[in-house]
Copies of this chain bind each other. A is one copy, B any other.
Amino acid sequence: MDVLNFTGLHEECGVFGIYDHAGDTDVRAAVYSALYALQHRGQESCGIAVNCDGVISWHCDVGLVSDVLDKRELEALPDGAKMAVGHVRYATSGDRSRANAQPLVVQHCKGRMALCHNGNLTNAPQLRRKLELDGAIFHGTADTEVISYLVTRSRLATDSIEDAVSKTMEIIEGAYSLVIMSPGKLIAARDPNGFRPLCIGKLPDGGYVFASESCALDACGAELVRDVEPGEIVIADQSGLRSMREHCGKRPSSFCVFEFVYFARPDSIIEGGSVHEARKQAGRFLAEEHPAEADVVLGVPDSGIDAALGYSERSGIPYGVGFIKNKYIGRTFIQGTQQQRENSVRIKLNTISSTVKDRRVVLVDDSVVRGTTCARIIKLLRDAGAKEVHFRISAPPFKHPCYFGTDVPDRQHLIAVGRTPEEIAEIVGADSVGYLSVEHVRQLSPASACGYCTGCFTGEYPADTPEIRQENVWDKPVKNMI
């Protein structure tokens, strides 16, 4: 789906941090390269904070990395910093203000601090109200502000920033992968369920980096060491790398399987497994579960390519290139109204008729949310002369909300809710539709020892879901307090 990037599943963030002990690296450039590599995890806003001898300078704005962190802005940040953090952010509609851009920088007499967060706290509203009644004020709506308060308040009563983070983790619930920069330390922390990815890399000259995905390590020349473990706090400081594991093992490991299927970049290694290989494996499983009599296997560019190769390999049906994606789409790629989205499929994607004409086609994609985009793509194939179109999806039907960091449309927009594959085939114009089974989705990455969250497919979640999510507490001021 990513070619068109508008069907509704959105990762909410990418985080990054670097501590260059040797001081050889331009940490601003490293953040830039890393965020570029993580751009697929959030295109709304982005930001950087650098730490130069304990003084934190930063710049955030609405826009893509290449726009916000342009040459002029990067050079306006101080030279010679040894630490820096960065963030890319996807924002749900109505919440695109700068007030929520990250890194979130806190000025405090105990030291400045910059926070980057990927995830969703399930108890944020309650925590927020409690903090407010205790004298806190909020400027935006992001969970990160809640975390920044808890860390700050914990810090007043603890000896170190890492202890403050640990104390905060006792209070917050849900999904979070954090990178926090204090005047002297760079800290990474991951929720005990390990919903969202977070990994550790090593620079050639001895420094360390933390990133949502290993592709960011490649981009800034670091080597993957390992993932931050669920519940682990990792501290990079002058004396090297340390780990606090007191929250590890408190909860079942439940990594978001959609990171393998859809969100992560194929060149990333997550939980020890290659994302590209997992997607090829999904295609192989699909070929077993849902074979088709066909002449060619096509993938929707770019998201369905890997699984299409796996389907072709297992089924023996030749793999073909059926679509050309316009390389110059640039920013029109990113946003836009529903109307614009619909008109823009043809401008973004064209068929290669020699591949398709008079052929029976297996079309593979990684997900179907609303069904509108795949219906358009199937129509493109029909217009180009395809005799049959067998649509295969390398994930189970998407039917339930996610409370752990993915932004999904309301249930009424999900095509799979209340429909059989046959009904869906009719809606999208396919001759047949086949989804990957939940059992198989759990086996995509044999190298990965983690458990999975498959709540969006099954409705069964590995952690408490928010009871009062509907009650947007800060939109309801107490009446007599005007």
Contacts and interface: CB of A to CB of B under 8 A. Distances in A.
A107 B141 contact: yes
A307 to B, nearest CB: 11
B321 A111 contact: no
A203 to B, nearest CB: 15
Interface string A113-142: 000000000000000110011111111110
The number of chain A residues touching the other chain, given as a range, is 35 or more
Given A39-B326, A66-B330, A481-B111, A137 B128 contact: no
B128 A152 contact: no
A8 to B, nearest CB: 18
Contact of A332 (B66, B313, B355): B66
Contact of A266 (B104, B112, B324, B481): B324
Nearest to A67: B330
A191 to B, nearest CB: 22
Contact of A321 (B109, B134, B159, B309): B309
A347 B36 CA distance: 7
Copies of this protein, total: 4
Given A37-B350, A274-B352, A266 B321 contact: yes
A108 B473 CA distance: 9
A274 B354 contact: yes
B107 A474 contact: yes
Interface string A21-54: 0000000000001001101100100000000001
A109 B153 CA distance: 19
Given A66-B329, A112-B477, 17 more contacts: A33-B346, A37-B350, A65-B328, A99-B105, A104-B139, A107-B140, A109-B129, A109-B474, A111-B481, A160-B482, A183-B477, A218-B351, A221-B346, A274-B354, A305-B321, A309-B320, A330-B330
13 contacts: A36-B329, A36-B347, A55-B475, A66-B331, A107-B141, A108-B132, A108-B138, A110-B132, A135-B156, A137-B149, A137-B152, A267-B323, A276-B324
Which 7 pairs of residues, A with B, have the shortest CB-CB distance? A111-B477, A184-B482, A274-B354, A39-B328, A107-B138, A267-B324, A135-B153
